[in-house]
Each structure stands twice: as structure tokens, then as C-alpha cells.
Amino acid sequence: MTHSPNIERIVAILSAFDHKNRPLQPMDILTRSGVARSTGFALLAALTNRGYLEKVEGGYRLGSASRDLPFAPIDRVEDRATLRAGPLTTIAAPEGLKMHPQLFDLVSLPPIGSSPPWKIGFANASRSNPWRVALERSVTEKHARLSPWISDIIVRNAEDDAEQQASQLEELVSLGIDALVISASPQTNHKLTSSLRRCMKRGLPVVALDRRPVRDDCYTVFVTASDDLIGRLSAIWLSEHLKGEGNVWLLSGLRGASPTERRLKAALSVFEELPNVAITAHRYTTWTREGGRSSIEELLSRSDQIPDGVWSDSGLQGLGSIDAFLTARVPIPPHTGGDVNGIYRAALKNRIPLCAIDYPSSMGAKAIDTAIALLRGESTTRRIEAPTPVILTKGYETKNVKADIWAEDHTRWDLPDDALLS
């Protein structure tokens, strides 16, 4: 799908503001963004009307609608942020902190012709960990809340098997669904891709959730959170906390799942900029506590050296990592990874420096809202990103990574370890 020049101009305008969101005069905005006056003033007015900008004393600043965009919860990294570790080392500004063009790419479908309430199918990749269970609950709870619009939400669980999910899509279509929400199984194959394309050709709204199908022509809208931001920002925090040097172990989620691979790629792009940071181990953990625990137990049994940091793309396996260090009675290095209550409790109880960026399971409810909007013939953006707050243990902010929420305020001591706080 191609993007109009105005989309690029909008992205440039919203990127003109600094991390403190200081007001700018109209001409300063246009100069910084490189947008011509002939179209720039009209775009400023349109963005103000939609809440992306607001007029204040001193000019314009980012408005309330911009807080839901992927860069909202963070301080912008300087173009060449300096980390000192012996010799001068640098890290490039992460591309993941920029806005995805599809956030401004509007799509709509003709009304389907039938009247509500509608039947919606949810093809869940799996229920293999607490986050995925919470995602499914976020979807199904919308049934009661939107009963005038929804007659039923039919759920199928593919157990992370693309072949099985393809068959389940055909079943859902045969049951007469009016719209499809899908969290795609990893290693999406030709059969699943073909099933999705047939859904699109039938005119079904297809809302991809969390995990994007391989091809852009297999879905109408993608509801997610920024995996690039999660991977890059957590790696920046760990690098800065370590002052640009040390040995790091990496714990990824489910091999082949798009959030896993995108977060890993983003983190590596940060670590590779730092010659004094060495990645000495990498394991996939299936996003489970046991997967994190067994990975660290195996690494500790093979290594005489405790890592200086553990980068984990989620607290689902990060909590298991902390379990293993505690059992081995060795010093626990700083960790990354959020989502589950247990990793916050463990970090606070054991005084572990922690950077967490929660991946909100509530995006499931947003996917149902989006499906209803498409069925009603309303316009929506091609990509919808849920906010991802930065959560740090107190005292561990770094130069470029600041807390939106302190872990001390976020943790729920009255809830179990597997409770989702996102």
C-alpha cells in the first residue's frame, strides 16, 4: 500500500517536537519538519482540530491524541546519545521511536448490509501463557459490554499451529461470522495466508491482533503495540545502566512469533552499536516462567561468569530467570521485561534494577472495537498502537529512559505472580 505525501508530512510535523514537548511557533514547526507553507498551515489546523496538536501560549505543542502514539511514553533519544565506558562509545537514535506511517493511513469498508448484532470470530494463536489468556479474556469480555452490536464472539485456539489455525478460519467462516479478529500463529504458512486472503476477498473485515500476518494483503487493520520500541528502549536502558560495557544474556519469547523476532532485532541494533557490550548467550523461552528458569539454569551450569545484565523481551520468562538466580544463590544482575505482576514483586523484594515496558493485553478489546467500526462503515487507521508505559524501579532512570510509572506504584502485592498488570 502506498502512502500519500501528506502522511509523510504529518509524521514530520509531529516529530518536530522535543522530548519535553516545548511549544513551537508555526514557522519553527514547518522549518524543522521541512514542510512547505503552502500545505503546512492547513495540516497544522487539521491536526489541531483532531487533537494531535493544541494551541498554547508560545505556539503549538503535541495534543492529547498524540499520547496514544508509539513515542508518547518515552523521552526521545538524542541523535547520538553518548555512553561513556572507557573509550567513547555511541548509540544511534532508534528508528523504533519514530511513528509508523500506517498510523495515518485511513481505511474503511462498505457497510456489510446486515444489521447488528453481529457475530465475530476470534482466532487466537494459543493460550500458552498468562498474557495470551488475558488477551483472550480482553476480547470475550467485550461481548457483554457491546451486546447491542455483538450477538456472539466465537473463539478458537490454534495451539501455535498455523495448519490448525487455517482450518479454524474456514470453520469460523462456515459459522457465519461477520468479522474476523486473528492473532496469527508463528511460522505463518501458505495455507494460513491463503485462508486469510479468502476472508478478505469475501469482504470480511479482518483485524490482525498482536501478531501480524506475513502479508499486508491478509488483513484490514493491525492492532498492536510497538515491538520495536519495547526492544530498543529496554536495550538502551540496559546499555546505559551498564555504562556501555559488560556481558549480556538475551532471553527471547517464542521462536518465529513476530513480536519475538522484532523485539530481538531492535535490541540487537542497539547492542551492536556498543563495542564493549558482549552478547554471550541467547535463548528462546516460549514466553513461560519455566522457559526462563530452565534457560538460566542451563547457562549458569555452563558458565563460570555471571552476566552483567539480562535482557528479556517480557517478564513472562524474566520472572523465571530471577527464580534461577535466586536458587543458585548468586548475584542477580539487572533485568528487563514487564507484563506480569511477579517480575515486579521479585525485583522489589530482591532490589533488582528493572526496566519494564508493558505490552497491554487490553489491545484485544480495542480489536473488537475496531471490528465493529469497520462493520459500521467507519474509517479507521490501518495500524492502531496501544500505549506502552515505561516502568522502572526507583533510582534507576538513565539519561534517555525515564519512568512513566515507578515499579513501586505499579506492583500489586495483593495479586498472584501471574496476574497481568498491562
pLDDT score recorded for residue 323: 98
Report the C-alpha gap between 341 and 319 in whole angstroms.
9
Asked whether residue 41 falls in the same domain as residue 163, the answer is no
Asked whether residue 398 falls in the same domain as residue 381, the answer is no
Closest CA to 97 of 194, 214, 19: 19
Asked whether residue 178 falls in the same domain as residue 241, the answer is no
Structural domain count, the chain: 3
Instruction: Give a yes or no: residue 126 inside a domain.
Output: yes
- CATH number of the structural domain spanning residue 14: 1.10.10.10
C-alpha atoms less than 13 angstroms from C-alpha of 140 in its C-beta half-sphere: 11
What pairs with residue 282 in β-bridges?
A: 250
pLDDT score recorded for residue 144: 85
Amino acid at residue number 99: M
Amino acid at residue number 402: K
Instruction: Give a yes or no: residue 208 inside a domain.
Output: yes
Instruction: Give a yes or no: residue 92 inside a domain.
Output: no
232 SS3 class: helix
What pairs with residue 124 in β-bridges?
A: 157
Look up cell 519469547; give the residue: 253
Tell me the pLDDT of the chain (422 aa) as tens digits. 444 556 778 888 988 888 778 899 998 898 888 887 767 887 888 888 778 899 888 899 998 777 656 444 333 333 333 333 333 344 444 444 555 666 566 777 877 767 899 999 999 999 999 999 999 999 999 988 888 899 999 999 999 999 999 999 999 999 999 999 999 998 767 899 999 999 999 999 999 999 888 788 899 999 999 899 999 999 999 999 999 999 999 999 999 888 999 999 999 999 999 999 999 999 999 999 999 999 999 999 998 899 999 999 999 999 999 999 999 999 999 999 999 999 999 999 999 999 999 999 999 999 999 999 999 988 888 899 888 889 999 999 999 999 999 999 999 999 999 999 87
What residues make up the domain containing 61? 1-68
Closest CA to 1 of 261, 194, 215, 257: 215
Instruction: Give a yes or no: residue 421 inside a domain.
Output: no
Asked whether residue 42 falls in the same domain as residue 134, the answer is no
Report the C-alpha gap between 207 and 185 in whole angstroms.
14
Closest CA to 282 of 268, 262, 266: 268
Asked whether residue 367 falls in the same domain as residue 402, the answer is no
Question: How is the beta sheet containing 246-252 ordered, strand by strand?
Answer: 277-284, 246-252, 309-312, 335-336, 354-357, 390-392, 405-406
- Contact in structure between 83 and 237 (CB atoms under 8 Å): no
Report the C-alpha gap between 360 and 87 in whole angstroms.
39
pLDDT score recorded for residue 370: 95
Mark out the alpha helices in 272-406 (DSSP H runs): 289-302, 315-328, 341-349, 363-375
Asked whether residue 276 falls in the same domain as residue 395, the answer is yes
Asked whether residue 380 falls in the same domain as residue 394, the answer is no
Closest CA to 291 of 266, 267, 255: 255
Look up cell 502485592; give the residue: 413
Instruction: Give a yes or no: residue 181 inside a domain.
Output: yes
pLDDT score recorded for residue 354: 98
For residue 234, give the C-alpha cell: 529496554
Instruction: Give a yes or no: residue 250 inside a domain.
Output: yes
pLDDT score recorded for residue 270: 96
Instruction: Give a yes or no: residue 12 inside a domain.
Output: yes
pLDDT score recorded for residue 66: 75
Which of 68, 90, 122 lies at the terminal end of a domain, its last residue? 68
Report the C-alpha gap between 246 and 231 in whole angstroms.
18
Asked whether residue 265 falls in the same domain as residue 397, the answer is yes
What are the angstrom distances between the C-alpha of 67 and each of 61, 63, 64, 104?
12, 7, 6, 15
Question: How is the beta sheet containing 118-124 ordered, strand by strand?
Answer: 150-157, 118-124, 179-182, 206-209, 221-224, 383-385
- Contact in structure between 181 and 123 (CB atoms under 8 Å): yes
Asked whether residue 286 falls in the same domain as residue 234, the answer is yes
- Contact in structure between 21 and 55 (CB atoms under 8 Å): no
pLDDT tens figures, 221-272 = 999 998 999 999 999 999 999 999 999 999 999 998 889 999 999 999 999 9
Closest CA to 53 of 96, 24, 77, 19: 24
Decide the pairing of beta strands 53-56 and 335-336. unpaired
Q: What is the pTM of this model?
A: 0.75
Asked whether residue 121 falls in the same domain as residue 196, the answer is yes
- Contact in structure between 207 and 223 (CB atoms under 8 Å): yes
DSSP of 117-153: SEEEEEEES---SHHHHHHHHHHHTHHHHTTTTEEEE
Asked whether residue 406 falls in the same domain as residue 319, the answer is yes
Asked whether residue 353 falls in the same domain as residue 402, the answer is yes
Instruction: Give a yes or no: residue 80 inside a domain.
Output: no
- CATH number of the structural domain spanning residue 333: 3.40.50.2300
